[in-house]
Amino acid sequence: MERSLVLVKPDGVRRGLTGEVIRRIEAKGYTLVRLELREATPELLAEHYAEHQGKPFYEPLVEFMLSGPVAAMVVEGERCVEGFRSLAGATDPTKAAPGTIRGDLGRDWGLAVQQNIVHGSDSPESAEREIGIWFPA
Ligand code: CMP
């Protein structure tokens, strides 16, 4: 069965949206197999966001991800990687379609980084890599 790593980012946790994100995941029929409220560390984020190192939004992204707790979860279900990305909507919350988490609940705050409530793995391979980072055996 496919798995995805989902994070409710610090903006989502601060705004009390963790339950709403979980509700949408479960309503879709996916199963939560791990769930933990975590403080990220610079080392963990360097691994998680390795592909973004050097991009203009990397430093603000790390600072944002360290600004409060993150709800980290492993979600399981048929094609749940693609499915959760559909639930999340486009990265830019202003462009995200209504009906999606970011489209319904997110907005552009005019900051250097998109504070877009959730992260979801972008492929089954990334999911296994990211699950190993956030939930080492
Ligand atoms: P995420 O899916 O966690 O992956 C990288 C994050 O960087 C992304 O969500 C956004 O929070 C942020 N991000 C991606 N692209 C941009 C961008 N062009 N400008 C600002 N922030 C971005």
CATH number of the domain residue 21 falls in:
3.30.70.141
Per-residue pLDDT tens digits for 82-92: 999 999 999 99
| CA 30 vs CA 75, 81, 133: distances in Å | 6, 10, 21
- State the Cα angle at 37 between 35 and 40, rounded to 5°: 115
> pLDDT band at 137, cuts 50/70/90?
confident
Active site residues: 119
First to last CA, the chain: 18
Asked if residue 116 belongs to a known ligand binding site, the reply is yes
DSSP 97: P
Number of domains into which the chain is organized: 1
Calculate how far, in angstroms, residue 121's C-alpha sits from the geometric centre of ligand 1.
Answer: 13
DSSP 4: E
Give domain status of residue 132, yes or no. Answer: no
Residue 40 structural domain: 3-125
Report ipTM (2 d.p.). Answer: 0.94
